[in-house]
Amino acid sequence: MEIKDESLARHEQFLLATILCSVLAYAYFEIKTWHRDAFRFRSWRKSSPIVILSTQKQITELSEALCFTQQNVYADMLGFQLEMDNIENSLGDYKLMRKQIHCCVLQATGHNQLRSLYPCLYHRLNNTLECIFSQDLASNGDTSVALPRTARRLALALTSPIFFGETLSSDGEFCNALLQCSIGIVKYTTMLQARSSLWSSLVRAIIAKRARAMRFVRNRLLKYLNEHSVCEEPGRIKQTLLSNMINVMKASKLWVPSLLAGQLLRTWLAISHQTWTNLDVIILEASARKKWQHALREELEESTPLDYERLDQLPLMDSFIKETVRLNPPDKFTMRRKALKPYTFSDNSVSVPVGATVCVSAYDQMHDPQTYPNPDSFSPSRYLGDKYKTQSKFTDVSESFLVWGYGSLACPGRRYASLVIKMVLSELLQKYELSLESEETETMSSWEAFTMPYESTRIVLRTRAQLDNN
């Protein structure tokens, strides 16, 4: 009996040792993969940015000074790094590159391009809504959806064509990887609330598979850029950010495929993330404010049939969106810039060491009582002039509304992001009555200066036809 027990114990020890070796081998190859590829993970360290006093002169100086870069600011905070091919070693090269990428985005998101793009986007929007809602239709005819997931899918459907063209944006594997990239950002900002560096590292090891999605997207873009000297799209979208970058690659030796692929992914992450997080909070606000929901619907009905021009000229919708974002900015700080060399502001108010991050407090600017009387109150009418003859639009850039940045490098894709938000909101309001599934459930979490939606937040959509029958 003792021999059997001893044999059984040795067998259990062997199994335990085998499992342990397998786990260690798996961890070794995973870590080796992370270091081999373009995404390098570090233990997260809390560091406070330098907040400037936010006078108009200082904001302009921060925006225009060549030694400040936005490249990798958020990547540094979240603990991963995209390859930049040492481009930051040359301020002159960096100046040229940031102007070129800015020009590429402007060409792809200008008024004429958006006007021609609108029918295609409208078709994609309706197909995506039908796909989402058919999966979540309840037995009573209501549709209950997880709002963050829905906002991401809608933003992806409408942002991917203008970035990557119809060929890549119709590739299910590619789009799923893009979606996983967006989910990964939420996972990082949610899980990294842990202050322990050991726990932070363990969390990264668990959720680092999201980086595989980034590697997949980057490698697919890299392959496409290496194989295509001309971007030929078979569909209706002829001018995309990808096609513009291919043209830039032919005209400038600075833009090599590896650098273009990383820059394109980084630009998409920035614009798509801001689009879907703003869309999420705007739909939440509309669901909670039935009075405004009805007012917006009346404005839409008076403007039908909606086309690009009519959608761009809706004073109530613009004001509602702008006020919602003012009160619920995704990041309380804005214009985060990393110093490539030591810098002192011209008024000698702030000296910035190399490697430090400088920013402006968007929250303070957008809660200044001199600009916004009763700044904590929800009042979209503050942007409307007499009888709506004048209005402050959501896409306007000013030192008192810094959602889009400031100066010559203000977000070049803001008109496109605004169009996506307005298209989704108008389509939902025209077809459904929106409400929160639970008005007592928390909808947002905070990490550092960021505000992120809870994945569990759900809204209920009831068709207007069903309401009329009742």
Segment 41-57, tens digit of pLDDT = 343 445 678 888 778 88
Q: The dihedral of CA 329, 335, 338, 343: what is its sign?
A: negative
pLDDT given at position 259? 81
pLDDT at 29: 53
In a domain, 4, yes or no: no
Query: Which region, left, alpha or beta, applies to residue 233 given φ > 0 means left and ψ of -120 to 50 means alpha?
Result: beta
Q: What residues make up the domain containing 310?
A: 50-469
Predicted pLDDT at 405: 87
pLDDT at 40 exceeding the cut of 50: no
Q: Is residue 243 part of a domain?
A: yes
**Measured distance CA(337)–CA(343) in Å, rounded:** 12
User: Which one of 33-37, 231-235, 260-264 scores highest in mean pLDDT?
Assistant: 260-264
pLDDT of the residue at 84: 40
**Phi, psi at residue 225, to the nearest 5°?**
-65, -35
Whether 283 shows a pLDDT value over 90: the answer reads yes
Q: Tell me: pLDDT of 234 over 80.
A: no
Whether the per-residue pLDDT at 390 is higher than 90: the answer is no
Sign of CA dihedral 363, 364, 368, 371: negative
The average pLDDT across 140-145 equals 76
pLDDT digits (tens, 9 = 90+) for 293-325: 999 999 999 988 889 999 999 999 999 999 999
How high is the pLDDT of residue 327?
94
Lowest mean pLDDT of 74-83, 181-190, 394-403, name the range.
74-83
Of the two residues 107 and 429, the one the predictor is more confident about is 429
Specify if 38 maps to a domain: no
Stretch 120-144: mean pLDDT: 79
8 Å CB contact between 406 and 335 = yes
Choice among 42-46, 110-114, 116-120, 152-156 with the minimum mean pLDDT: 42-46
Q: Is the peptide bond before 305 cis (omega within 30 degrees of 0)?
A: yes
**Which pLDDT belongs to residue 140?**
54
The yes-or-no verdict on residue 60 having pLDDT over 60 is yes
The mean per-residue pLDDT over the stretch 144-164 comes to 91
Distance CA 124, CA 161 (A): 10
pLDDT tens-digit profile of 208-219? 555 678 888 888
Domain assignment present for 28: no
Instruction: Measure the N-to-C terminal CA separation of the chain; round to a whole number of Å.
Output: 76
Percent of the chain residues topping a pLDDT of 70: 74
* Res. 256: pLDDT tops 70: yes
Q: Would you state the pLDDT for residue 17?
A: 72
- The answer to whether position 30 is within a domain reads no
Based on the structure, what is the number of domains in the chain?
1
The per-residue b/e assignment along 188-227, b for 16 or more CB within 10 angstroms, e otherwise, is bbbbbeeeeeeebbebbeebbebbbbbbbbbebbbebbee
Contact present, 299 and 314 (Cβ < 8 Å): yes
- Taking the mean position of all CA atoms in its chain, how far away is CA 135? 25
**What does each C-alpha distance from 147 to 152, 154, 274, 283 come to in angstroms?**
9, 10, 15, 8
Task: Inform me whether the pLDDT recorded for 124 exceeds 70.
Answer: yes
In this predicted structure, what is the pLDDT of residue 409?
76
Distance CA 162, CA 240 (A): 5
pTM of the model: 0.83
pLDDT for the residue 321: 96
Reply yes or no on whether the pLDDT at 235 is more than 90.
no
What confidence score (pLDDT) does residue 342 get?
A: 92
Question: Could you tell me if residue 21 is inside a domain?
Answer: no
Task: Give the residue with greater pLDDT, 469 vs 97.
Answer: 97
**Which residues, 6 or more positions from 270, have their beta carbon under 8 angstroms from its beta carbon?**
74
Average pLDDT over residues 177-206: 62
Specify if 9 maps to a domain.
Answer: no
Top-confidence residue, 424 or 65: 424
Mean pLDDT of 424-452: 85
Res. 38 pLDDT band, cuts 50 70 90: very low
Burial group, residue 112, by CB count within 10 angstroms (0-12, 13-18, 19+)? exposed
Query: What share of the chain in percent tops pLDDT 90?
Result: 27
What confidence score (pLDDT) does residue 174 get?
A: 93
**Structural domain includes residue 140:** yes
What CATH number is associated with residue 92?
1.10.630.10
CA angle 237, 243, 247 (to 5 degrees): 145
58-62, 78-82, 239-243: range with lowest mean pLDDT: 78-82
